[in-house]
Amino acid sequence: MSQIKAFLTSRKIAPFVFLAPYLILFSVFKVWPVIQAVKISFTRFQGLQNQTWIGLQNYEALLSNPRFSMALRNTTIYTVGTLLVLIPLPLILAVLLNSGRVVKGTVFRIVLFLPALTSLVVVGSVFRLLLGRDGFLNSALGLFGVEPLRWLEVAGLTLPSLILLAVWRWTGINIMYFNAGLVNISKELYEAAAIDGANARQIFWRITLPLLKPTTLFVVIISIIGGFQVFVEPFILFVNGESPGNSALTIAVLIYRTAFLSFQFGPAAAMGVILAIIIFILSLLQFRYFGAFKKEA
């Protein structure tokens, strides 16, 4: 017993003992399903006991599949649209709330963070009402003389509707991320810059923004992952994801339809693999752009 105790409590072994439960669960519920999905993507899957190896045929079929091309385009537009809003807007709001010039800034942080705690099913249902022809948004626009817009009925407005929902839901949590990064910036740097005569704009561009690079990288990566994996929002906002002309069809929704409605698990798995590769490549590009691979001198 003493030898076993000494083995488990040794400095080299103890960390793995504590990590073992997580590593086992991660391997069983994450790594193994991914391996199986890659395997299925190369087969004609008709059940666990009926799998025929067909090589790259599923991938070749996707290249000529117009629905997959549309889903990829829609997902990319949605992701880029959310990035253009959900990076600069939360960053600016976080800087303002951290500046000390906003009265009761903590209250604003809490209020802005609350949407992230709301169930996506509830959010999607509420937004279907808000974006209806007689909904709140059209009523508000009517005050400025804008004619009612058919947000959920016109192909050109479906993706902006999804982006509006994403902005409402995720702005608060991104503010919290940026706020955590701002807290770690030394106040002495700001004081020294102010003594040297730097204005607010110069301080933001020369001190705040460069020192927020790690936080910005994190927010960009999770926004890209969330954007390309979006499923619940279009599925709820449009009944079962049935948007006008498939104008809000995303890759995740298409994977769901292909696998669980058409029971074509091979093509669905191939889409999942392609989606994972896209996210991986874009993440690597972001790491390279932000200089994460550069060695410190």
| 105: in domain | yes
Distances (CA, A) of 81 to 75, 84, 117, 180, 263: 10, 5, 22, 24, 32
Q: How many angstroms separate the CA atoms of 178 and 215, rounded?
A: 6
| 48: in domain | no
User: What is the residue-wise DSSP string for the chain?
Assistant: -HHHHHHHTSTTTHHHHHHHHHHHHHIIIIIHHHHHHHHHTTEEESSTT-EEE-TTHHHHHHHT-HHHHHHHHHHHHHHHHHHHHHTHHHHHHHHHHHTT-STTHHHHHHHHHHHHHS-HHHHHHHHHHHTSTTSHHHHHHHTTTPPPP-TTTSHHHHHHHHHHHHHHHHHHHHHHHHHHHHHTS-HHHHHHHHHTT--HHHHIIIIIHHHTHHHHHHHHHHHHHHHHT--HHHHHHTGGG--GGGTT--HHHHHHHHHHTS--HHHHHHHHHHHHHHHHHHHHHHHHHTTTTSPP-
pLDDT at 297: 45
26 and 136 within one domain: no
pLDDT at 242: 85
171 and 263 within one domain: yes
Q: How many angstroms separate the CA atoms of 125 and 132, rounded?
A: 11
10 and 90 within one domain: no
Phi, psi of 45 (to 5 degrees): -90, 115
CB-CB contact of 247 with 74 (8 Å): yes
pLDDT in tens for each of the 297 residues of the chain?
566 666 556 667 777 777 888 889 989 988 898 898 899 999 888 766 677 888 889 999 998 899 999 999 999 999 999 999 999 999 999 888 887 777 777 788 788 888 888 888 888 888 888 888 888 888 888 888 888 888 888 888 999 999 999 999 899 899 999 998 988 888 888 888 888 888 888 888 888 888 999 899 999 999 999 999 999 889 888 878 888 888 999 999 999 999 888 888 999 999 999 999 999 999 888 888 776 656 554
User: What residues contact 238, with CB distance under 8 A and at least 6 apart?
Assistant: 152, 158, 248
pLDDT at 88: 93
13 and 147 within one domain: no
pLDDT at 295: 58
68 and 36 within one domain: no
| 296: in domain | no
pLDDT tens-digit map of 138-189: 888 888 888 888 888 888 899 999 999 999 989 989 999 999 898 888 888 8
| 283: in domain | yes
Where does residue 212 rank: exposed (0-12), middle (13-18), buried (19+ CB within 10 A)? buried
Provide the number of structural domains found in the chain: 2
Domain that holds residue 32: 2-40
206 and 111 within one domain: yes
Phi, psi of 43 (to 5 degrees): -130, 165
Pick the closest to residue 44 from 288, 295, 264 (CA basis).
Answer: 264
| 45: in domain | no
| 256: in domain | yes
Longest dimension (CA), the chain: 82
The amino acid sitting at 144 is F
284 and 169 within one domain: yes
140 and 12 within one domain: no
Pick the closest to residue 137 from 57, 273, 146 (CA basis).
Answer: 146
pLDDT at 2: 62
Q: The tokens of 146 are what?
A: 């804008």
141 and 14 within one domain: no
